[in-house]
Structure 1
C-alpha cells in the first residue's frame, strides 16, 4: 500500500501543458498532458476566497498522469454563489470536451468526466454532479456545506465518490460536512479523515485569506491527496485497475469512516 501511494504521489509519465480558460470566456486554468486522445477530464472547484494557484500542484500532478484538469477562477469573492460556481464547473467540463486543446493533439472522452474541489468548491462539485449525468466520479477535499445543501444534492449522486477531510478542521468539521455528504451519497462513497489536518491543509503557498480562514497547508495532506485522487480518477475514469487496493484498504495516517 505504501509503495502504491508513494508511486502515485510522484509526478506521472506525461509532460504537462498549462492553458488559460479565459481564452474561451471562462476565467481559470487548464492543465493537460502534452499529447493524448480520449483522455479523462475533471473540473476542480476552489475553496472560499481561494485563487486557483493554491491548487496548481495538484492540478499539474493529475495532468502528469493523463487526466485533463480545468479550474474556473470565478466566484472568488466573499459573497460567492455556490449555484454559479457549480454551473461554471459544468461549463469547464464542456470546454474540456468541446474546445480544441493544445495543438490539437489532445482530446477528452465525454464518457470520462469527473469533478473535484476543496472547501466550498467541493460542495459545489457535489451540486454540479447532481445535475450532470455525464459525471462518472467525484472527489472532495475538506468539503463544506453550500446553499443549496451539498448533503441534499448528494442524494442524487449515484457515481462513486471519495471524500478527504481534516480531523482538526474547525471551519467545516467533518461530522457536519464531509461525513454528512458521504453518508447521504446515493452511490458508493468513501470517507477518510486525516486526524491532524486543518481546513486549509490541501492548499499551497500563502494568501491574504490565511488571516481569516483557520489552518495552513500541510505537505503530508497534499501528498496523500495527490496519491488518492490520482488512484481514484485513474480507476473510475480511465479504467486503470492497478491501484484499486488504495481505494479499498485502510491508508496509514487516515481514519477510515463508514459512510
Structure 2
C-alpha cells in the first residue's frame, strides 16, 4: 500500500501578501504534542494527528533558550503536516556545537525510526531537514554536513560562533534558507549570516526580516531576556512562520504553489543573496 501523506497543499495564492496571510495561519491538522524524554533525549515534538510518509524537521534552540520558546513555530509546522522536534540539550553558557549537532541528528533519527502517535504517524527519511535559531542554526548546518538523506536546512539569525560552522556551510550542498534579523545586535547579518551564506556549497537564500531583532523570533519570557537585546515580537514570528513553512514545503514536498515566498518579494523583508 502506498503511504498516505497528511500534508495539505495550500490553495492557489495571489501574490506574496496573500501567501503570507495563508501560510502564517495554522494549517488544517489537529496537532499532537509529545516529549522526546521517552527516548532518553530532553525536548519536545509536535506532529499532525496522523499521516504516513510525512516530512520532518529537527530544530535547534539558541544560546540558553528552552525549546518551549519555539513552540509557536513547531506547532505551526505540525499543523501543516510537518513533524517538528526540538531537543532541549546544551543550554548551558558554553554549549558543545558538535554535541548539539549530534543531538539534532539523534532527534531526526527518532522521528524517522519511531512510529509516533500510537503508530499512526511515520516520517519519510528522504523528506527531512535541520533548522535552528542562533547557535541552533549553526548546529543545524553542522548536523547536515555529510548527512546522507537530509534535504534542506533553515537557519534563523545564525551565529557564526565556531570555525566549524563555516566549514559545514561549505560542505552542505542541499538548499539552505538563512533568515536574518535587520535589527540584530547579537548576531548581525554582516558578520554572521552573510559570510555563512557566501560559503554555501549549494543553493542558498539569505533574506533579512527588516525590523526584526535577535530575540523577536522567540515567544514568552525567560531570564535570558535580561542579557540579550530585543524582545519577542508577534509580527516577526508571523512572517517567520510563513517563510519557513513555504521553504520546507517547497524543498521537502516539491510544492510549487508557495514559490512566491521562496524567491519573490515579500513585504518587510529584503533578499540579500540568492543563488
Normalised by the shorter chain, which TM-score bucket? over 0.9
Moved >3 Å (runs of 4+): none
Decide whether the 8 Å contact of 1:159 with 1:187 is kept in 2. yes
Q: How far has the Cα of 1:221 moved from its partner?
A: 1.1
- Select between 173-182 and 85-94 the one with higher mean Cα deviation: 173-182
Provide the aligned length of Structure 1 versus Structure 2: 259
2:240 corresponds to which of 225, 230, 238: 225
With normalisation by structure 1, the TM-score equals 0.98
- State the partner residue of 1:113: 128
- State the partner residue of 2:9: none
- State the partner residue of 1:190: 205
2:84 corresponds to which of 69, 85, 100: 69
Counterpart of 2:19 in 1: which secondary structure? helix
**Does 1:91 find its partner at 2:106?**
yes
> How large is the Cα RMSD of the aligned pairs?
1.0
1:157-236 aligned within 5 A: 157-236=172-251
Distance 1:234 1:194 in 2: 20
- Flag structure 1 segments of 5+ consecutive residues without an equivalent: none
Q: How far has the Cα of 1:210 moved from its partner?
A: 0.3
Distance 2:176 2:111 in 1: 21
- Flag structure 2 segments of 5+ consecutive residues without an equivalent: 1-15
Could you give the per-residue CA deviations for residues 165-211 of structure 1, whole angstroms, max 9, x where no partner exists? 11111111101111111111111111111222111110001100001
- Select between 46-55 and 186-195 the one with higher mean Cα deviation: 186-195
2:146 corresponds to which of 131, 136, 147: 131
Decide whether the 8 Å contact of 1:158 with 1:188 is kept in 2. yes
Distance 2:30 2:210 in 1: 34
Q: How far has the Cα of 1:146 moved from its partner?
A: 3.2
- State the partner residue of 1:4: 19
Decide whether the 8 Å contact of 1:8 with 1:231 is kept in 2. yes
Distance 1:149 1:250 in 2: 32
With normalisation by structure 2, the TM-score equals 0.92
Decide whether the 8 Å contact of 1:113 with 1:136 is kept in 2. yes
Q: How far has the Cα of 1:75 moved from its partner?
A: 0.3
Distance 1:240 1:195 in 2: 26
1:247 corresponds to which of 228, 252, 262: 262
Distance 1:166 1:97 in 2: 32
Distance 1:180 1:219 in 2: 28
Distance 1:246 1:194 in 2: 13
